[in-house]
C-alpha cells in the first residue's frame, strides 16, 4: 500500500516566549492510500490543530509533512496548489452565506480549477443528487438544516476532486437526529475509496469505519492501533481512562 500522507515528527506551539503552549509534540503518522484514520481524544488534545497543519492552514514549527512523498510543509512554499488536492470539512460547516448552495460548490472548480461554469454546475448537480440534495441547489445556507449544510460542505470539498479528505469533528455541532445522514455520506466516501483523516467524538462510528485509530492527549499520539484492538484492548492507561469516560457518558 502506498503511503499517501506522511507526518513526521511534527512540532507546533502557540503563544509567545513566556507563554508557549505546545500543541503538537513530535507527532508522526502515516496514512496509506484509501485508508481511513480516526483521531480521537479530549478537546484540546491537538486533533483539530493537526488537521489544520496537514492542510497548511497553520504552519508547523518543525518536522515534515509529505504528500505522495513530496514535502509540502516547506516554509514559504505556495500552499494554494496543495490545498486544491486536500479537501477539508469543518465543524461549523463554513459555507458562504451570501451564495447559493450551487454557487458554494462551483466557486472552487470555476475559480481555482478553471472549469467553465456549465461544466462545474453539471458536476455539482450530480454530486448533490448523489447525496439527495439536488432540490436544494438554489437554496441559501441559512435555509438548510445543520445536517444538510454539513452535507453541502462535504459536497463542496468533494467538488474539487481531492486526493485526501480531512474532516474536523463534522458531526459535533449537529442534532443527534441529523448526525446519521452525515455519517452515511462519510460511509459512502469510504466505499468509494477516499483517503480520509477524521477527528471525531463518534466512537461507534470510528470503530466501524476506520482502518487506524489514533488517541491523542496533550499533543502526543499516545496510542495508534486498528479499531478492534484499540477499543477492546487499549494498551495505555490514558487510553483506557479516556474510553472509560466515553463509555460512562453513553457514547460508545
Partner 1 sequence: MTELDEGAGTVSAPSRVPGALTRREEWLRRRRRRSTTVALVSTVLTFGVLFVVVTNSSGWPKVKEIFFNAERFKEDFPELLGYLWVDVKLFLQCAPLIVVWGMVIALCRNTRNPVLFPLRVFAAVYTDFFRGVPVILTIYLVGFGIPKLGLLEGEFHFLWFGGSWTSPYLWGPIALVLAYSAYVAEVFRAGIESVHESQRAGARSLGLSQRQTLRHVVLPQAVRRVIPPLMNDFLSLQKDVALLSILGIIEVFRRASSIKDLTGNFTPIVAAAVIFLALTIPETRLVDWYTARQRKRTGGSVIA
Interface residue list for partner 1 (CB under 8 A)? 52, 55, 57, 79-81, 83-84, 86-88, 90, 92, 94-98, 107-108, 111-113, 142, 153, 156-157, 160
Nearer to partner 1, 17 or 98 (CB): 98
Closest CA to 141 of 198, 92, 200: 92
Which is closer to partner 1, CB of 18 or CB of 98?
98
Could you tell me which residues come within 8 angstroms of residue 120 by beta carbon, excluding any fewer than 6 positions away? Answer: 105, 106, 109, 110, 113, 159
Closer residue to partner 1 (CB): 105 or 203: 105
Half-sphere exposure of 76 (CA within 13 A, CB side): 0
* In the complex, least distance from residue 95 CB atom to partner 1, rounded to whole angstroms: 7
- Nearest distance from C-beta of residue 84 to partner 1, angstroms: 4
Residue 102 Cβ vs partner 1, minimum distance, rounded to whole Å: 14
Q: Which residues contact 103 (CB under 8 A, 6 or more apart)?
A: 96
Reduce the DSSP state of residue 235 to 3 states and report it: coil
Q: Shortest distance, CB of residue 238 to partner 1, whole angstroms?
A: 30
Between 91 and 224, CB nearer to partner 1: 91
Instruction: Indicate the residue among 94 and 224 with the shorter CB distance to partner 1.
Output: 94
State in angstroms the smallest separation of the CB of 96 from partner 1.
Answer: 6
Are 75 and 12 in contact by the 8 Å Cβ rule? The answer is no
Nearer to partner 1, 195 or 239 (CB): 195
Nearest-5° Cα angle at 79, 127 to 54: 75
Contact 195/67 with Cβ under 8 angstroms? no
CA distances (Å), 136 to each of 94, 101, 154, in order?
17, 7, 14
Report the relative pairing of strands 3-14 and 62-67 from DSSP bridges: antiparallel
Nearest approach, Cβ of residue 90 and partner 1 (Å): 7
Amino acid at each position: 500500500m502506498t503511503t499517501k500522507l506522511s507526518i513526521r515528527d511534527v512540532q507546533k506551539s502557540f503563544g509567545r516566549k513566556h507563554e508557549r503552549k505546545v500543541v503538537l509534540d513530535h507527532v508522526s503518522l502515516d496514512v496509506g492510500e484509501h485508508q481511513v484514520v480516526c483521531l480521537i481524544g479530549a478537546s484540546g488534545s491537538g486533533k483539530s490543530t493537526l488537521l489544520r497543519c496537514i492542510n497548511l492552514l497553520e504552519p508547523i514549527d518543525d518536522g515534515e509533512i509529505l504528500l505522495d512523498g513530496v514535502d509540502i510543509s516547506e516554509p514559504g512554499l505556495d500552499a494554494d496548489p496543495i490545498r486544491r488536492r486536500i479537501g477539508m470539512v469543518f465543524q461549523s460547516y463554513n459555507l458562504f452565506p451570501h451564495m447559493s448552495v450551487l454557487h458554494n460548490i462551483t466557486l472552487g472548480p470555476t475559480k481555482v480549477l478553471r472549469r467553465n461554469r456549465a461544466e462545474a454546475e453539471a458536476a455539482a448537480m450530480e454530486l448533490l443528487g448523489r447525496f439527495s440534495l439536488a432540490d436544494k441547489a438554489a437554496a441559501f445556507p441559512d435555509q438548510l438544516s445543520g445536517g444538510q449544510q454539513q452535507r453541502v460542505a462535504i459536497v463542496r470539498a468533494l467538488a474539487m476532486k481531492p486526493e485526501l479528505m480531512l474532516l474536523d469533528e463534522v458531526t459535533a455541532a449537529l442534532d443527534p437526529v441529523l448526525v446519521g445522514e452525515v455519517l452515511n455520506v462519510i460511509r459512502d466516501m469510504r466505499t468509494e475509496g477516499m483517503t480520509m483523516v477524521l477527528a471525531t467524538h463518534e466512537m461507534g462510528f470510528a470503530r466501524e469505519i476506520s482502518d487506524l485509530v489514533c488517541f491523542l492527549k496533550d499533543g502526543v499520539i499516545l496510542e495508534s492501533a486498528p479499531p478492534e484492538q484499540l477499543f477492546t484492548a487499549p494498551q495505555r492507561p490514558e487510553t483506557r481512562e479516556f474510553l472509560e469516560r466515553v463509555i460512562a457518558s453513553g457514547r460508545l
